[in-house]
Amino acid sequence: MLRRIEFGVLALIVLVGALSTGAQFLWFLVYLGLLAVGGAYVVTRFGLADLEAGYVLDRVHAQAGDILRASYTVRNTSRLPKLWLEVHNPTTLPGPLPGQAISLGPRGEQSWSVRVPLSRRGHYRVEPLALRTGDPLGLFESHASVGSAANVIVYPRVEQLPGWRLPPASIEGTHAHALKTPHTTPHAVGIRPYTPTDSFNRIHWKSTARQGELQVKEFELEQTADVWIYLDLEARHHSSHDDESTLEYGVRAAASIAARALVENRNVALTATGQRSIVVPPDRGPRQYQKIMEVLAGVQADGDKALVDFLVEGVARLRRGMTAVVITPSLEPKWVRPLSGLRSRGVATVIVTLDGAAFETFYRATHVLTPADEETAAAAQRGARALRHALAEHDLKASLIVPRQSLALQLRTRMGPRQAVRP
C-alpha cells in the first residue's frame, strides 16, 4: 500500500511537470509509467489463471510426538510462464507449515513436501491452500484459496504400562487375566480341533470346511469389569505449564490407562470435569479408543466444579465388579469420602495423585524463577497432610505422579496412604 502511494505521488509530480512545461522527457516518463502500470496489472490479473494446485495431509489423527507430512503440487496449464507464486497453508498447528515461493514455466509443474512435528496434543485446523502473486513493481497483488480446510486431531502421548494391572473384580464369571474356559462366553478367541467332549454348538463350520476336519471355537472368561476414569480438571488445583504440568501428566495417565484397558477388551468410560462435564459412556474396541482420545486431546484445566461433586454424581453409575480410576492434583480430602463406600459394593478403586508442588518447583527451577513463598509451601504441606490422613482413614492406596519420571513405573507403584501424598 505504501509503495502504491509513493508511486502515485511520483506519477502526479511527473504529470504536473509535463503539463506545465511540455518537456518531451517528462511526457516520455508519463507514457512509460502508464505502460509499466498497465503491464503490472495485466501480469497480476492473469498470474493465477490456468493454475491447478492442491495439498494432501498424510494423516488427520496422530499422537503427540508424531510427524505430520503435507505434500503439495502446483501445475501451470497455460502457455505463459508464472513468474512468481507464493504458496502456503495458514494453520493452528504447534509448528507452522512452511510456505514456498516458486516460479513455473509454460506447462510446468512443481511438487514438494514438508514435515511438521506434532509436539502438543490438541484439535488443530489447516486452512485451504493460499496462493498469492504480484507484479515485479509491487503495485498489485492477487490472492486465491484452493481446496478445503482439514481438521487435525493430535492425541495425547500414550505410554506402555508393562506389569501394571487393574485390581481384579469380585464378581462371578470374570477373571483378572485372560483365561480359557470350557463354557460358552461372549468372548471367542480362537479355534482348535474337535474333541469327543465338545458340544456341537461350538463347531465353527467355516473353519471346518476350510481345513477338512472338525474345528471348535475356544472361549475366554470376561476379564474384570468396566473401567470408569474420572479426570479432575478443576483449574485451581492444577499447576505448572507446557508438557511438564499436572494437566499433561494427568491426561497422559488417563490415555495410557484407557488404552491398556481397551487392549484387554474391557469396557472403558471417561468423565472429564472441565468447564463442562464430558462423559464418554462405557464401550470397548477401536471406536471407543478414538472417542476417548479425541476428548483427551482437547481438554483443558478450566473447570470450576469440585471433584467431590462429580464423584457424588458419578459413583451412582458404578456397579459391582467395576473399577473407578480417579486422577487428580487436588489436596482437598473431601473427595475421598465418596470413594469410601465403593469397596462394600464390590467396586475397586485406583487413585492417581499428581504432586502439584513438585511440578511447580520443577517449572520454576527450569525457567529460572524465584521459588514459591513460604506461605504457599506451608499451605501445600497442610493440604498434603490432610489428604494423607483421609486416605489412611479409608485404607485407600494411591500412585503419586511427579515430573520427569517414567509414568509406567509411577503408576505401577501403588503406595500406601502414608506414602501416597508427600507431607
Low-confidence stretches of the chain (pLDDT beneath 70): 1-4, 6-7, 14-15, 18-19, 31, 168-189, 200, 219-225, 413-423
Domain count, the chain: 3
Give the pLDDT confidence of 270-296 residue by residue, as tens digits: 999 877 888 899 888 899 999 999 999
For 282-341, the pLDDT digits (tens) are: 888 899 999 999 999 999 998 888 888 888 888 888 888 889 999 999 998 999 999 988
Closest by CA position to 261, among listed 297, 222, 232: 222
On whether both 260 and 386 belong to a single domain, the answer is: yes
As a whole number of angstroms, the distance between CA 371 and CA 74 comes to: 54
Q: Same structural domain for residues 255 and 389?
A: yes
Instruction: Give yes or no: residues 263 and 345 share one domain.
Output: yes
3-state SS string over the chain? CHHHHHHHHHHHHHHHHHHHHCCHHHHHHHHHHHHHHHHHHHHHHCCCCCEEEEEEECCCEEECCCEEEEEEEEEECCCCCEEEEEEEECECCCCCEEEEEEEECCCCEEEEEEEEECCCCEEEEECCEEEEEECCCCCCEEEEEECCCEEEEEECCCCCCCCCCCCCCCCCCEECCCCEECCCCCEEEEEEECCCCCCHHHECHHHHHHHCCCEEEEEECEECCCEEEEEECEHHHCCCCCCCCHHHHHHHHHHHHHHHHHHCCCCEEEEEECCCEEEEEEECCHHHHHHHHHHHHHCCCCECCCHHHHHHHHHHHCCCCCEEEEEECCCCHHHHHHHHCCHHHCCEEEEEEECHHHHHHHHHHHCCCCCCCHHHHHHHHHHHHHHHHHHHHCCCCEEEECCCCCHHHHHHCCECHHHHCCC
pLDDT at 317: 81
Q: Residue 241 belongs to a domain with what CATH number?
A: 3.40.50.410
Q: Are residues 278 and 411 in the same domain?
A: yes
The C-alpha atoms of residue 323 and residue 326 are separated, in whole angstroms, by 10
In this structure, the answer to whether residues 65 and 119 fall within a common structural domain is yes
Within this chain, do residues 238 and 373 fall inside the same structural domain, yes or no?
yes
Same domain (yes/no): 55, 126: yes
CATH of the domain at 79: 2.60.40.10
Same domain, 293 and 407: yes
Claim to verify: residue 239 and residue 363 sit in the same structural domain: yes
Q: Is 106 a domain residue? A: yes
Q: What is the pLDDT of residue 219?
A: 63
- Do 141 and 196 share a domain, yes or no? no
Instruction: Give residue 94's domain range.
Output: 51-155
How far is residue 331's CA from residue 398's CA, in Å, rounded to a whole number?
Answer: 13
- 21 domain residue, yes or no: no
Query: Of 167, 194, 220, which one is at a domain's C-terminal end?
Result: 220
Q: Does residue 163 lie within any of the structural domains? A: no
pLDDT at 370: 78
Same domain, 112 and 61: yes
Q: 162 lies in a domain?
A: no
Q: Among the three residues 190, 220, 250, which one is the final residue of a domain in this structure?
A: 220
Evaluate whether residue 251 is within a structural domain.
Answer: yes
**Model pLDDT for residues 110-142, shown as the tens digit of each residue:** 999 999 999 999 999 999 999 988 877 777 788
Asked whether residue 145 falls in the same domain as residue 198, the answer is no
Instruction: Note whether residue 92 is domain-resident.
Output: yes
Residue 415 inside a domain? The answer is yes
What φ, ψ does residue 231 adopt, rounded to 5°? -105, 115
Domain boundary among 191, 220, 249: 220
CA distance 221 to 172: 10
CA neighbours within 13 Å on the CB side: how many for 227?
A: 32
pTM of the model: 0.76
Q: Which residues contact 372 (CB under 8 A, 6 or more apart)?
A: 357, 360, 361, 364
4 occurs within a structural domain: no
